[in-house]
Amino acid sequence: MCSPGSSMAVLMEGFRALDLDGNGSITLRELISILKALGIQDIGEKDLRQIISDMDMDNNGTIEIDEFINMVTQEDIFQLLCQQPVDNDYEAAFHEFDKDKDGNLSRGELILGLQTLGIHPTLELVKVMMEQADTNGDGVINYTEFREIMRKLQ
């Protein structure tokens, strides 16, 4: 069963990924950097300030871990996060990304795959994604690594 308690490690990992300088809070600058890295540039700074303000319970201008967890564990958001695709979905996505059908995803294949989803990542973001997913250090992402990283995102 998907519950906030069972997914706490995933939520904390997500927070750490957004907290670029590792100081325990997400700033407006970090939020803008992450969105730009994901290719999302059509959200204005005013709207982003409002998002932070809505989450910022202590009114210090940043989002701390407790505020982040409070926001994403609200029932409607959490239910969306808890929708669990089956392994067949992961396998189909992996094979769609694996253009040369060698059983591995290269940086180029990852970029092309993300672009087909409407995500235009920066080279820096792709580097980080590869480092996170490539657990055996061979420079590519095999299906097992892909499936595990996708499960962690759930």
Can you give the pLDDT of all 154 residues of the chain as single tens digits?
454 444 666 677 778 888 888 899 999 998 888 877 767 777 888 988 888 888 899 999 999 988 887 777 664 555 544 554 555 677 888 888 899 999 999 999 988 887 777 777 788 888 888 888 899 999 999 999 988 877 765 5
For the chain, the structural domain boundaries read 8-81, 87-153
Q: What is the CA radius of gyration of the chain?
A: 17
Class of domain 8-81: mainly alpha
Q: Which CATH number fits domain 87-153: 1.10.238.10, 3.40.1440.10, 3.40.640.10, 3.40.47.10?
A: 1.10.238.10
Please give the model's pTM, rounded to 2 decimal places.
0.47
